[in-house]
Amino acid sequence: DTGVSQDPRHKITKRGQNVTFRCDPISEHNRLYWYRQTLGQGPEFLTYFQNEAQLEKSRLLSDRFSAERPKGSFSTLEIQRTEQGDSAMYLCASSRPFIGTGVSEAFFGQGTRLTVV
Amino acid sequence: QQQVKQSPQSLIVQKGGISIINCAYENTAFDYFPWYQQFPGKGPALLIAIRPDVSEKKEGRFTISFNKSAKQFSLHIMDSQPGDSATYFCAASGGATNKLIFGTGTLLAVQP
């Protein structure tokens, strides 16, 4: 399978615990995005990496959230001291470099469903 | 200014009918307008996308109509099939990061 891979698919954690999610983008895709989707809503942008550089973070990304993309390959999203409001689907997407003024399609992974109890 | 408004919230269509979903945006810097299809428990998958230099794009049974002056765009699904039953999201993006701003989604049910 050469699509975007996310792990784990499901995570149940107790309030206050830390969790970490992993995203493996499509190879040769240098752009990587994290989104959060709550029930009945569209995905909301969290953060963006171009290669290993984190170039944009949403104000939704509180200081309890941190994302990394070492060496510009896979990425991790960590949530510290989880709260019940963090329960959501966390989606990762990747796209290849833009050519000229073109736009490259973003491919999404299947997401990690987080439940904080 | 970052919002993308989508309607209707839900839609029921008979098999063979036409499904129409509408979106509106405010930010004139947006220059890419994709539609995504999402099945329960899955990530969104791109259906079709349009740039503002054209008013219509068709791929198979799916058509995007784009009205730049009204800042509106819509998805038409012709000959709707039960397998089309899913949630559809419009989105918009622009700028260096190309981050997607999504609408709130339309739950489509196609009845056999």
Task: Note the Cα B22 to chain centre separation in Å.
Answer: 7
Tell me, what's the pLDDT at B94? 87
Q: Is B5 on the interface with A (CB under 8 A)?
A: no
Q: pLDDT tens-digit profile of B43-95?
A: 999 999 999 899 999 999 999 999 999 999 999 999 999 999 999 999 999 88
| Alpha-carbon span A16 to A64, nearest angstrom | 11
Q: pLDDT tens-digit profile of A63-91?
A: 999 999 998 899 999 999 999 999 999 99
Please name the member of B43, B96, B101 whose beta carbon is closest to the beta carbon of A108: B43
List beta partners, residue A94: A32, A107
Tell me, what's the pLDDT at B32? 93
Taking CB atoms and an 8 Å limit, are B42 and A40 in contact across chains? no
From chain A, pick out residues whose CB is under 8 angstroms from the CB of B40. none
Please name the member of A41, A44, A98 whose beta carbon is closest to the beta carbon of B105: A41
Tell me, what's the pLDDT at B96? 84
| Alpha-carbon span A63 to A14, nearest angstrom | 19
Tell me, what's the pLDDT at A102? 63
Instruction: List the structure tokens of A37.
Output: 């989707």
Q: pLDDT tens-digit profile of A34-69?
A: 999 999 899 999 999 999 999 999 987 889 999 999
Mean pLDDT calculated for residue range B20-25: 98
Identify which of B60, B70, B64 has the alpha carbon closest to the alpha carbon of residue B25: B70
Tell me, what's the pLDDT at B2? 67
User: Are A109 and A4 spatial neighbours (Cβ–Cβ below 8 Å)?
Assistant: yes
Please count the other Cβ atoms lying within 10 Å of the Cβ belonging to residue A28. Answer: 8
